[in-house]
Amino acid sequence: GRLQGAKRAAAERGELRFPLPVGYVYDDEGECVIDPDAEVQAAIRDVFAAFAAGGSAFQVVAAFVGRRFPLRAYGGAWAGQLRWGKLTHSRALGVLRNPCYAGAYVYGRYSTRRRVQPDGTVRTGIKLLPREQWPIVLPDHHEGYWTWAEYVAAEAKLKANCTHDRARPAREGLALCQGIMFCGSCGRPMTTRYHRHGQAAYGCSSSRADHEATPTCRSIRADVVDDAVAGLLLSTLSPGQVERALATADEVSGRHARSHRAAELAVERAQYDADRAERAFSAVEPENRMVARTLEARWEARLAALDQARAALAAAREARPALPDRTARQALAADLPGLWHDPDTKDRDRKR
């Protein structure tokens, strides 16, 4: 109808307003701008930095363990207000998959479908459309937290993470080739099994009970394969790959710096809330005891939150590793075999 036509025309101009994701606000002129709150900005930017380092939403969530993440609610008592809570996997995916963070204005990401159930009732469902089917996409509509090219690459990466036949993010465990081994007889993936004494083995996933396994399908000790793969890898590393290894060390240092900065911003916010509660308590008339008791309890709660934020900042400082400077790291990179076999090198880093 005429109303839908007007909405679409406004969307084609990028003027149709809708609730913005956390990290964005509308300014006085109605333009979409990055939230001026420094703590909110840092949290959103750290999501993309963690994804660039880990390559999966699970790694983003792992990077936010012990940290809080902002959420702006719409509707109800919390309408439009900023809340802080735990970063869940679904929320991390929601941020990574939202084109708004890439500076794009998108209209029509979802379609509504109605289906008649066997009992005659009609149910309405919402489906996320593929990017190729979005009717209106206006790139460079506003300032983004990352580029459109990075968003498209992340979309492909997230899609690849959902399959079983492509490279997966590095996993925990001692086995170096976990998740990338295939049986040379039947071509099926080889699973990793850990025995009680800690030794790992790769075994063909073909089911012998279902007669899917070939006579030559077998299992093999993981250390035999891993040593051969590690030796081949170290013998073929190029200078460019060494430089990427140094960049990884820089990323580790940057990740801890971002965590430390987030803790500092949390202390600043908690200090502001405590000072504000103190001013409110000091301004109340002493005779108004009911209000005074309420404001005093609120002030004490803000002070407790400030103590928690300071404790989190101290913990972030202690968790920050004492990495050598870049010159020392270059010297370590020159001795890759020594770095590879160093007890402090984590299995996950070897896999990456």
CATH code at 29? 3.90.1750.20
Residue 104 and residue 243: Cα distance in Å, rounded?
A: 33
Number of domains in the chain: 3
Residue 45: inside a domain, yes or no? yes
Same domain, 139 and 281: no
Residue 169: inside a domain, yes or no? no
Residue 273 and residue 266: Cα distance in Å, rounded?
A: 11
Q: Which of 79-83, 125-129, 151-155 has the lowest mean pLDDT?
A: 79-83
Expressed as residue numbers, the domain containing 316 is 239-351
Same domain, 221 and 252: no
Same domain, 246 and 279: yes
Same domain, 260 and 194: no
Helical (H) or strand (E) element with 200: strand 200-204
Structure tokens at 149: 């090219």
The answer to pTM > 0.75 is: no
Same domain, 80 and 51: yes
Alpha helix ranges (H) inside the chain: 2-12, 38-54, 57-63, 89-96, 148-161, 222-236, 239-283, 289-319, 326-334, 336-340, 347-351
Residue 92: inside a domain, yes or no? yes
Same domain, 123 and 207: no
Same domain, 6 and 153: yes
Residue 71 and residue 22: Cα distance in Å, rounded?
A: 6
The predicted structure's pLDDT at residue 5: 85
Residue 173: inside a domain, yes or no? no
Residue 233 and residue 164: Cα distance in Å, rounded?
A: 24
Residue 142 and residue 34: Cα distance in Å, rounded?
A: 9
Residue 41 and residue 19: Cα distance in Å, rounded?
A: 18
Per-residue pLDDT band for 35 (boundaries 50, 70, 90) equals very high
Beta bridge partners of 182: 189
Same domain, 152 and 16: yes
Angle among Cα 159, 165, 168 to the nearest 5 degrees reads: 60
Same domain, 197 and 208: yes
Residue 309: inside a domain, yes or no? yes
Per-residue pLDDT band for 290 (boundaries 50, 70, 90) equals confident
The predicted structure's pLDDT at residue 209: 46
- Listed ranges 202-211, 230-239, 279-288, 320-329; the one with the highest mean pLDDT: 279-288
Same domain, 15 and 143: yes
Same domain, 200 and 243: no
Same domain, 7 and 131: yes
Residue 7 and residue 3: Cα distance in Å, rounded?
A: 6
Residue 185: inside a domain, yes or no? no
Residue 171: inside a domain, yes or no? no
Residue 175: inside a domain, yes or no? no
